[in-house]
Each structure stands twice: as structure tokens, then as C-alpha cells.
Chain A
Amino acid sequence: MSRLATTALALVLPVAALADGHAAPLTMAMHYNQDQAAPLLECLADYEAETGQAVEYQQVSYGEYLQTVLTGRIGGTQPDIYHLYSIWGAQMADNGVLAEPPAALADFIRAEYGTTADAATIDGTLYGVPTEVSVYMLVSNMALLRDAGYDAPPATWDELREIAEAITTRNDQGRVETAGFAFAESSSGAGVVHPFYALLASRGMDVYADGFAEANLDSPEAVAAARDLATLVDDGITEKSVDAYDAFPAGGAGMMVMANWYKSAIEDGLGSLDDVVVSPIPAGDDWKTLQYAFFMGVDSDSPNGDAAWEAVRWLNSADSADDSGVSCMGRMLSSIGALTANASDNAAMGEADAFTQPFLDALADGRTVSQPNVMQAAEIEGMMADAIDSVIAGDADAEAAMGDLDRAVEDVLFEFY
């Protein structure tokens, strides 16, 4: 009897709570830590006070986000609101994990976010609100450039090679001490793949063709882009072992192709950003670059889907703006030095600092191409990183390596398209 009573109580209590006017709390999983998310947490408290709808914040580390979501879904404990790296979206959408936003919210997204809405769009269907945007640009330590006799960052790849070579110094052991240019070393391979994307886009070539059925990785443009990166090492201008993530903030690298989110690390390392210049990808007048984004989406199995979308809308719209006119999400992103593509927020925030403004200009001027939302994107980018790395290391000829890569990537694409 006592077990029955307990069970009955457990069933009745939530219903009683709902009947008492308290909506079931929503859960929102994001990778930002508590300090980074502090402005957002304040907003969530305001939202609950305003609407009676509680939203619980769950921090999930970036590296384990997808696995955590998968495990949660298998166990039926998935969050209502996701915050997803755009390249995860294709698989989640393909498996029916993501819900489509209400029509009014979709209209709002398309009006506010311009081309960045592509980051949350899979096969023509919009799945959420773009939030943090990252753009790659050339970042230069002007003190090192001036020491080498140059007053401005390079505008072409040949100029980059010339300046990098002039900056590079070696120690007694023949190892690079100060690198003119450095690649970022990341486990995902983004440190070479993202600059490769930028160089490929600057040559006017897309990574994929025919609705993702084919890859253009064996195109002359792709081979040339890989070769541009490889010859920096092959010609002794830099070494792959110099990691831009460490070397640049330590004053040991003159230039790197890097996203805006590394701003605070550079500032912490160098002491200030006064002598750091952000400039276009050095690929001539037709330069383009890569942007990628996170987006907020809602789980298709969420029992509180409508409430979840309403919370997402509120957080990203003027309804959550404070006196500055910036939405809640815009304020949080601004506080951590991240970019938003929300036009109203950017207008309300006005001119950014000298470091950030070129990234925003690239977005506003249509210089950015979105990272493709292709199935198995992370796997494919890992394959790309391996191939480009082998060219950079001189293990393989660019044409042969990119040809092999193209075939391997099309093998993956064939499974899905």
C-alpha cells in the first residue's frame, strides 16, 4: 500500500504543480561555463519572473556535447533547447532530432541574421536561431612585422610569404624561434582546414557541388590552396610544430589565420591589442573567408516545444533587450568577445573595437561563406586535415593527396546524398 501511495504521489505532484500555475521547467544545454553564461543566467531569472516559465541551464563541455546529447536522448533525458555547432546540425536534422521553428520565428531569423541563417539551415529547412558567429581573418603582430621592416599586413599570399620569411628566426638548434606565420594546432584539424576553406573560397570554388553529392577537393583551386599552405613549411618559412594558439599570444608568431574568439587569449598574452591588426585573408581583391556559427534549436521530442521556442525567441529578440537595446544573447556574446549576426544587436552595439570591427565588416560585406552543413562534417574535416597535413609535411604531393581525399570524401557523401 505504501509503495502504491508513493507512486500515486509522484504522479500527482507534478500535475499539482502545473495546476498551481507553474509551467514545467525547460532545460537548455550550452557549452559556456558559468562565468561566460552569467549574463544569460540573469536573463533566465528575469524570464521566469516575467513569464513564470523556468529555464534550467545545463553546462555541457564542447568536446562532449554531442555524446552527451546522444546519451541523453537514448535515456530520455535530453534537454529541450540545444545550442549546436552548425556542422552537427545535418545529422541531427536527418535523424529527426530537431524541431522546426514556428513560422513567425523563422521570418524573424531570416530578417535579422542574413547569410548567417544558412548556419542553421539544412537542406533548405531552417532549424534554429544563429547565435555565436566565428569568422576567420589574418591576425598580425605588428611589432614583429615592423621589426622585419613592414608597416602593413600582407594583402596577397606572396606578400605573406615574403613578410613571414623576413620575420622568422631560428635558434642554435635550427628550430624556429619566432615564426613569421603559424598554423593553429587543434585536435579537430580546424587549424589547417579552416584557413584552407578561406583560401578555396577566395579562389571562387565551393567545397561541394551537386547538392553535396560531389566534392571539389581535386579541383585545381583546391590543389592550389593546399599547396599555398604547404609551401610555407616546405620552403622553410615556418614549422608545423609551432602552434599559433601558444606562439601568437606569447609574441612568438607574426601572423596567423584565426577566428575572432581568440581575442581574449591574444590580449591576455600580449598585454593589449594595441599592436595587433586584423586584416582580410591575403588572397587579393576577391578574398573570401569562412564563417561558422552555433545555433539554438529545440528537440523534436520536447514535450514543451512551444514554450521552448518562445524562450529561444525571447532570448534573441528585442523583448529581452535592456537599455542598450541589445538582446540578452547579444549581451552575453558581447561579454565574452564573441560575435553575433543579429542585425538589431549589432546596430545597437554600434562600432566595435579595432580588433573586432574587421570581423564584423567581413560579415556585413558578404565576404564570408558558411561552413557547409554536410552529413558527417566532422569526419570529413578530419579527413581533410589529414590530407592537408600530409601535403604540408611533404609526405604527399598536393595533387595526389587532394585526389585521394576527393575520392574518400565522395565515398562518405555517397552514403547520404
Chain B
Amino acid sequence: MAGRALGRPGGNAPYWFLAPLFAFTGLFLVLPLGFSVYLAFTRWNPLGEPRWVGTRQFEYLLTRDDTFWATLSNTFVFAGALVVIGVPLALGLAFVFSRARGKAAWRAIYYLPQITSFVAIAYIWQFVLDDRYGLANRLLGLLGFRGFDWLTDPTMAMVSIVMVMVWYDVGKNMVVFSAAIENVSKDLYEAAELDGASAWIQFSRITVPIIRPAVVFVTVTSFISGMGFFALILAMTGGGPRGATEVTALYLYEMAFQDLRMGRASAGALILFAIIAVLTVLQFRLLRERKA
């Protein structure tokens, strides 16, 4: 008894303290996830009973549903652009503002979109990017240009969505980078300056290698959130024009809640989950190898 008490002070108390967390996780994570996995092998609209169909939903999505593949392609473009454009931009801004006056104010300004509703953001940008009356094209018109079909041309619509998403996300990533940059010893920069290192050399040879964990974190989380994101797209373009901005998560949302195909949508979600998981592991390994 004495040995047991020594091995686990407080008896079962830790488990009692953890019990609410376990219950919450079970109720809101494990249970829905398990149900979703089950649904992926059924045909179910919530009006009736689920009917077991084995792997047919996966077969349909992977072999017959061209739209599913098109949305996956859109998803990779969206998530990829978010990482390729958004992460370096946030890093650059964080570095610049770390040396600027009023850096706290700049960071707050860039963080503002994060505390704004997606719907409000979508409406504002719709007004700015409207083909005929939008501010962007009006300004381009003053300069003698025709302007772009920002939200009605398939290519430009994706460009617009990425642009707005980068604008939305850059502040959050910048804050993470800023925190990491603040922890880099000032001595290193002073020594580099004494050796005549330019700001770019200091950034690329000192800052980036030291804050690599933050870069890995932001890259991976940006990619994951980009792969599963759709709220802004739903509010801004609804996936249009002609499916050009229809990402997989949005397609699955519509499949589940508009077309009432819960089984197929669950199967699609599992496929998307598997893709994200594999790519995330690959990203971690690649970035770790580079570190080594």
C-alpha cells in the first residue's frame, strides 16, 4: 500500500481532475469522429436510417467524381499559395517591424483582420473587387486600365481569394514570428553589424536559422488550415465562378448540408484528412532533415 501511495501520490485524484477533459474529448471529438468514420461506409441523409454500402462512397469519389478531383486541385493551389506567399510575407514583416518604431502598433494593425468576422471581410472585399463598381477597378480606371474581373474570372477569383486570405492571415503569423525574433539575442546582430553584415545577411544567416522552429510551426499550421479552410470562400465567392474557388472542404460542406449526402461527405472528409496527415508528416520530416 505504501509503495502504491508513493508511486501515485493522491490516489485516483489526477484521474478525477482529468475526467471532465476526457468526457469533453469523448463527447465532442471521439464520438463525432467515430460516427463520421462509420458514416463514410454508409449512404445516409439525416431524414432516414444510414444504409451500409461498404467502400462505395470512396470508390465514387476517387473514380467517378471529377468535381472532387477538381476541388482537390483547387485546395492544393489555395493552401500552397497561402504557404508560399503568406509565410515569407509574414516573416518579412515581422523582421521589418522588429526594427521599426511603434512596432506594437504595426503588429496590432496587421492583426486587426483576425478579430473581424469572415462575413464582414467577405462583403468588404466584394465591394472593393466588384468588376464594375469596385474600388480596385475604379482606381485602375483612373490610371487608364480596364481593370480585372476579380471575382468573375476563374483564375482571378482564385488570385483574389488567396490575396484576401493572405491579408487575413499575415497578422497572426507575423505575431508568432515576432515573438520568435524578439528572443534572438541582440548580441548576435551587434556582432554581425561590426563585421559589416547587411540587413539581408542578418535576416537570412541569423534570424531565419534561429527561429526555424517557428518557421516550421507556421508553415505546417498554415498548410493545414489552408487545406481545410472554406468559410471566407463560402462567403466571398460561394466556390464560383464555375467552381474555380471550390475547395474540397467547401464541396464536402455543400455535399453534406445542401445535398444531404452525409455518407459521401464523410468519406470525402476522411480522404482529405488522410492527405493532410501524410503531407504534414512529410513536411515535418523535410524540415527536420534540412535542420540536420
Chain A residues near B (Cβ < 8 Å): 66-67, 70-71, 73-74, 91-92, 94-97, 171-177, 187, 239-242, 376, 378-379, 382, 386, 389-390, 393, 395, 411
Confirm or deny: B270 has a beta carbon within 8 angstroms of a beta carbon on chain A. no
Confirm or deny: B147 has a beta carbon within 8 angstroms of a beta carbon on chain A. yes
- Judge whether B149 and A241 touch: CB under 8 Å: yes
Chain A: which residue is nearest B141 at the CB level? A173
- Judge whether B47 and A92 touch: CB under 8 Å: yes
- Judge whether A393 and B241 touch: CB under 8 Å: yes
B residues within 8 A CB of A239? 131
- Within 8 Å by CB of B238, from A74, A97, A187, lies A187
Chain B: which residue is nearest A242 at the CB level? B132
- Judge whether B242 and A389 touch: CB under 8 Å: yes
Confirm or deny: B146 has a beta carbon within 8 angstroms of a beta carbon on chain A. yes
A residues within 8 A CB of B132? 171, 175-177, 241-242
Shortest beta-carbon contacts, A-B, top 5: A95-B47, A379-B259, A95-B48, A70-B46, A241-B152
A residues within 8 A CB of B243? 386
B residues within 8 A CB of A175? 131-132, 146-147
- Judge whether A395 and B146 touch: CB under 8 Å: no
Chain B: which residue is nearest A376 at the CB level? B259
- Judge whether A73 and B64 touch: CB under 8 Å: no
Given A91-B47, A175-B146, A240-B241; 6 other pairs, CB 8 A cutoff? A70-B260, A95-B47, A173-B141, A175-B147, A241-B131, A378-B258
Q: How far is the CA of A407 from the CA of B46 in the complex (A)?
A: 27
A residues within 8 A CB of B154? 395
Distance in angstroms from A249 CB to nearest chain B CB is: 15
- Judge whether A386 and B242 touch: CB under 8 Å: yes
Confirm or deny: B137 has a beta carbon within 8 angstroms of a beta carbon on chain A. yes
B residues within 8 A CB of A172? 141
6 interchain pairs (CB within 8 A)?
A70-B260, A71-B46, A94-B47, A97-B47, A242-B132, A378-B259
Distance in angstroms from B35 CB to nearest chain A CB is: 12
A residues within 8 A CB of B64? 411
Interface of B, secondary structure class, is loop
Confirm or deny: B283 has a beta carbon within 8 angstroms of a beta carbon on chain A. no
Q: How far is the CA of A379 from the CA of B47 in the complex (A)?
A: 16
- Within 8 Å by CB of A174, from B146, B241, B242, lies B146
Which residues in window 10-47 of B have CB below 8 A to A?
45-47
Which residues in window 45-61 of B have CB below 8 A to A?
45-48
- Judge whether B259 and A390 touch: CB under 8 Å: no
Q: How far is the CA of A58 from the CA of B77 in the complex (A)?
A: 43
B residues within 8 A CB of A92? 47
Q: How far is the CA of A382 from the CA of B48 in the complex (A)?
A: 23
Chain A: which residue is nearest B130 at the CB level? A241
Confirm or deny: B284 has a beta carbon within 8 angstroms of a beta carbon on chain A. no
Confirm or deny: B273 has a beta carbon within 8 angstroms of a beta carbon on chain A. no
Distance in angstroms from A392 CB to nearest chain B CB is: 9
- Judge whether A173 and B258 touch: CB under 8 Å: no
Chain B: which residue is nearest A411 at the CB level? B64
Confirm or deny: B127 has a beta carbon within 8 angstroms of a beta carbon on chain A. no
A residues within 8 A CB of B46? 70-71, 73-74
- Judge whether B47 and A70 touch: CB under 8 Å: yes
Distance in angstroms from A107 CB to nearest chain B CB is: 28
Q: How far is the CA of A171 from the CA of B46 in the complex (A)?
A: 50
Q: How far is the CA of A79 from the CA of B183 in the complex (A)?
A: 59
- Judge whether B241 and A67 touch: CB under 8 Å: no
Chain A: which residue is nearest B132 at the CB level? A175
Chain A: which residue is nearest B243 at the CB level? A386
Which residues in window 240-260 of B have CB below 8 A to A?
240-243, 254, 257-260
Distance in angstroms from B251 CB to nearest chain A CB is: 11
Most-contacted residue by chain B among A92, A171, A175 (CB, 10 A): A175
A residues within 8 A CB of B257? 67
- Within 8 Å by CB of B242, from A67, A390, A411, lies A390
Chain B: which residue is nearest A383 at the CB level? B67
Q: How far is the CA of A390 from the CA of B260 in the complex (A)?
A: 25
- Within 8 Å by CB of B147, from A97, A173, A382, A395, lies A173
Distance in angstroms from A133 CB to nearest chain B CB is: 24
B residues within 8 A CB of A395? 154, 242
Distance in angstroms from B103 CB to nearest chain A CB is: 40
Chain B: which residue is nearest A185 at the CB level? B240
- Judge whether A91 and B45 touch: CB under 8 Å: yes
B residues within 8 A CB of A382? 254, 258-259
